[in-house]
Amino acid sequence: MLLEIDGLTRNFGGLVAVHRFDMRIDEGEIVGLIGPNGAGKTTIFNLITGVLRANKGNIKFAGKDITGRKPHEIAKLGIARTFQLNPLFGDFTVLENVSASFHLRPRSSLMDIYFNTATYRRNEASIMKQSLDILKLVGLDTMKDELSKNLAHGHQKMLGIGRALAVQPKLLLLDEPLGGMNPDEIDFTITAIKKTQQQGVTILLVEHNMRIMDFCERVIVINFGEKIAEGLPDEVRENKEVIRAYLGGEKVA
Amino acid sequence: MRDWENMNSHQPATSALLEFDSPTRKYAKPAIYAALIALFALLPAVLSSVYMLHILILIFIYVIATVSLRAITISGQFPLAHAAFMGIGAYLSGMASKWLGWSPWLTMPCAALVTSGIGMLLGFPFARLRALYYAMGTLFFGIGVLQIIYALGRLTGGYSGLVGIKPLFFGSKLPYYYLFLGLTIGSIIALYRFEFSRIGTNLKAISQSHLVAASVGINEAWYRILSVGVGCFFVGLAGAGYAHYNVVLSTSSFNFMATLWLVMYVLIGGIGHFAGPIIGTFILILIPEYFRDLKMYSPFISAAILGIVVYLMPEGLVGLPKIIRSWFTQHLKDKRAVHAS
């Protein structure tokens, strides 16, 4: 079991954003997390990655309790993420965005970095090579010297994924990776995500686009911070409660 | 749209016309640096007045202060207590030499280290603050430092200033000139290395998005504290040097106005470029000196320069060659367009 979440609860003042949420993810799985706007999907991501602290419940990653850890510690353990609004290092080039994200592996000590030792130079060379590989995977190798803030929206989204891959994660959390992309970009991104999964990365994603949901092995539906359904994409789609959550009644659909 | 708003984007083709070809370029930079160092090394032989020497020494000290300020600002923190840290270094070194009788050569590095330590200790609580809150927090710290100096009047001289600090050299200003020239070059090299290594990259990453930086494993708080520690070390060194050069210290050199001057030097020189603080310090100290007869108006002159720079050169004085170049290429392009038609 890679990720185990038990009874996760988070309130914002009087609003219960996530309520006693449970989830299990196995190694190598690709799991979708869906739900209407405001259901608490992004809050769950923020709780897993330590951006927010849980009020109750605990999160275990690869057998270790990571509840309440800081974001950079969680990244170190092997959880990478993208963001829904996709902030980037805007004044860095595309290549720098990825190479700067190689903070953890390989890692040079401060002394190595400052005195430009052979270890540091070797690490930097390997980072350059791996960054170019990642850019090729997400299809940005031709625009590696552009400033990332000048990229088109779809490209920025892909760069977000590339940046997360630089962490060399065991678990990758993607927050609406296809949001605002055109059909070509969607095809390309889905291929990239599949390739990533084949390399052994477990993926949890939030998405509204059904094409990506169809190749999820499991879909979890939440509404008002509570899990209302879980199962194969087709099963979930037939689920009455899910239909009610999305459409407000059962007779439609 | 104004030309320079797009200048950050990479636009080869036309502007390449005016760039050096690459082999020339490879040696151009080291040659320029060597020439500059040689120029400053020979300058005292040419200068007629001791007063100019004095101004240059002050410029060197303030260049260390502003370049060290940059080491902190690249991490997205804008401290408003940098002159106060300079004061901490100055008073510590001055008091140690006066009361303990230590040699200034020993007290200077010690004072720099202690200043750095104080900065890092302060960094722990302040690493939780961002942007304006950080600026305000440091501002109040700076005011607090002065109050402590007043409160410890018996040790620090309080309102009447600290006198009786041991000088580094007796007599001529020339040894000071070369000492501070060396210290400045050394500090610039050290801080350049700091900024253009992965450490600086991490700091710049934090300043652009602390959320993303943390998500790739960069420890935001630690790196911010580190940058403050490094910045305070060098500003402490500058302050300590100032103490043993000036031999007399008063709090007015380290108050909030003094901090604002440092910020002005950085802003006018250009906040987005390593050379910005260096150029800004030189220009902003030299120009009012040039109009020395109008000394009482010097804040106004500086304010006018700030206004002009902010309005015409958003990148600061460092951006000036770029603006000229882009204006020039535009001119060439127009000319070619006329020919073509």
Residues of chain A with C-beta less than 8 angstroms from the C-beta of B219 = 70, 72
Mutate which: A70, A82, A89, vs B, most B CBs within 10 A: A89
Identify the pLDDT of residue A214: 80
* A-interface mutation test, from B10, B212, B222, B223, most A Cβ less than 10 A away: B212
Which tokens is B39 given? 């120029």
* Interval A220-244: pLDDT, tens: 988 888 898 898 888 888 888 888 8
Which class for A166: exposed (0-12), middle (13-18), buried (19 or more C-beta within 10 A)? Answer: buried
Question: How confident is the model at residue B22, as a pLDDT?
Answer: 59
Chain A: give the shortest CA distance to residue B75, in Å: 13
Residues B156 and B94 sit within 8 Å (Cβ to Cβ): no
pLDDT at position B15 over 80: no
User: In this complex, do A113 and B198 lie within 8 Å of one another by their Cβ atoms?
Assistant: yes
Which residues in A lie closer than 8 A to residue B217 (C-beta atoms)?
A: 72, 75-76, 103-104, 167
CB within 8 Å: A167 and B211: no
In angstroms, the Cα distances linking B41 to A80, B34, B188, B281, B289 are 52, 10, 16, 19, 21
DSSP letter (8 states) at residue A12: E
Closest Cα in chain A to B191? A114
- Angstrom distance (rounded) from CA B55 to CA B43: 13
Rounded CA gap, A234 and A15, in Å?
Answer: 32
pLDDT over threshold 80, residue B14: no
| C-alpha distance from B180 to closest chain A C-alpha (Å) | 24
Residues 87-146 of A with CB under 8 A from B: 87-92, 96, 100-104, 108, 110, 113-114, 116, 120, 124, 145-146
Least-confidence region, from A76-90, B28-42, B70-84, B302-316: B302-316
**Across the interface, which of A76, A89, A110 has its CB nearest the CB of B208?**
A89
Given a contact cutoff of 8 angstroms between Cβ atoms, the answer to whether B165 and B243 are in contact is: yes
Contacts B197 to A, Cβ<8 Å = 113-114, 116
| Least-confidence region, from A66-70, A156-160, B242-246, B300-304 | B300-304
* pLDDT top residue among A251 and B178: B178
pLDDT > 90: what percent of chain B? Answer: 49
- Three-state secondary-structure class, residue B160: helix
Give B17's DSSP letter.
G
Quick check: B217 and A75 CB within 8 A? yes
Question: What's the rounded Cα separation, in Å, for the pair B90 and B96?
Answer: 10
**Chain B residues closer than 8 Å to A145 by CB:** 10
**Is-contact A189 A158, C-beta < 8 A?**
yes
CA nearest to A101, candidates B8, B209, B226: B209
A165 to chain B: closest CA residue = B216
Q: Sheet with A218-223: list strands edge to edge.
A: A79-81, A171-175, A202-206, A30-34, A218-223, A226-231
Cβ-Cβ contacts under 8 Å, A45 against chain B: none
How far is CA B31 from its chain centroid? 23
CB contact under 8 A, B211 and A164: no
What number is the average pLDDT over the span A157-168? 92
Task: Name the average pLDDT for chain A.
Answer: 89
Contacts of A136 (CB under 8 A, 6+ apart): none
Would you tell me which residues 77-96 of chain A have a C-beta closer than 8 angstroms to some C-beta of chain B?
A: 80-81, 83, 87-92, 96
What are the tens digits of pLDDT across the range A196-215?
A: 999 999 999 998 777 777 88
Which pLDDT score, from 0 to 100, does residue B305 have?
84
pLDDT band (50, 70, 90) for residue B9: very low
| pLDDT-based confidence at residue B20 (cuts at 50, 70, 90) | very low
CB within 8 Å: B10 and A104: no
User: Cβ contacts (< 8 Å) between A101 and chain B: which residues?
Assistant: 212, 216
The answer on pLDDT for B8 being more than 50 is: no
Given this model, what pLDDT does residue A253 score?
42
Length of chain A: 253
Token duo for residue B13 = 């083709």
**Would you say residue B13 has pLDDT above 60?**
no
Confidence of residue A251 (pLDDT cuts 50, 70, 90): low
Residue entry with tokens 């739900």: A35
Q: Which residues of B touch A (CB under 8 A)?
A: 8-10, 193-194, 197-199, 201-202, 204-205, 208-209, 211-212, 214-220, 226
Nearest to A114 among B8, B193, B216 (CB): B193
Residue B146 is predicted with a pLDDT of 92
Cα angle B170-B175-B180, degrees, rounded to a multiple of 5: 120
User: Residue B24's pLDDT is what?
Assistant: 67
pLDDT higher than threshold 70 for residue B30: yes
Please report where in the chains the tokens 């901090």 appear, as a residue: B259
pLDDT of residue B110: 95
Q: What is the pLDDT of residue B341?
A: 66
Mean pLDDT along residues A48-72: 92
Q: Within 10 Å of residue A74's Cβ, how many Cβ atoms?
A: 23
Least confident of A139-148, A194-203, A234-243, B129-138: A234-243
Count the helix, strand and coil residues of chain B and give each as a percent rounded to the nearest 5. 80, 0, 20
Test mutation, A70, A101, A151, chain B, max B CBs within 10 A: A101
Q: Which of A51, A87, A103 is opposite residue B209, by nearest beta carbon? A: A87
Residues of chain B contacting A90 with CB distance shorter than 8 Å: 208-209
Indicate if the pLDDT at residue A112 is higher than 90. Answer: no
In A102-203, alpha helices (H): 110-114, 118-137, 153-165, 183-198
pLDDT value, residue A46: 93
State pLDDT tens for residues A62-93: 989 999 899 999 999 999 999 988 889 989 99
Are A120 and B208 inside 8 Å of each other by CB? no
Average of per-residue pLDDT across B191-218:
92
Q: Residues B167, B104: contact at Cβ < 8 Å?
A: yes
Helix or strand run (H / E) with residue A229: strand A226-231
Q: Which has the minimum average pLDDT: A107-116, B189-198, B311-320, B330-339?
A: B330-339
**Do residues B97 and B104 lie in contact, with contact meaning Cβ atoms separated by under 8 Å?**
yes
User: How close, in Å, is residue B213 to chain A by CA atoms?
Assistant: 8
Average pLDDT over residues A90-106: 89
Specify whether the CB–CB gap between B2 and B313 falls below 8 A.
no
Q: Which of A168-182, B12-26, B106-120, B156-170 has the lowest mean pLDDT?
A: B12-26
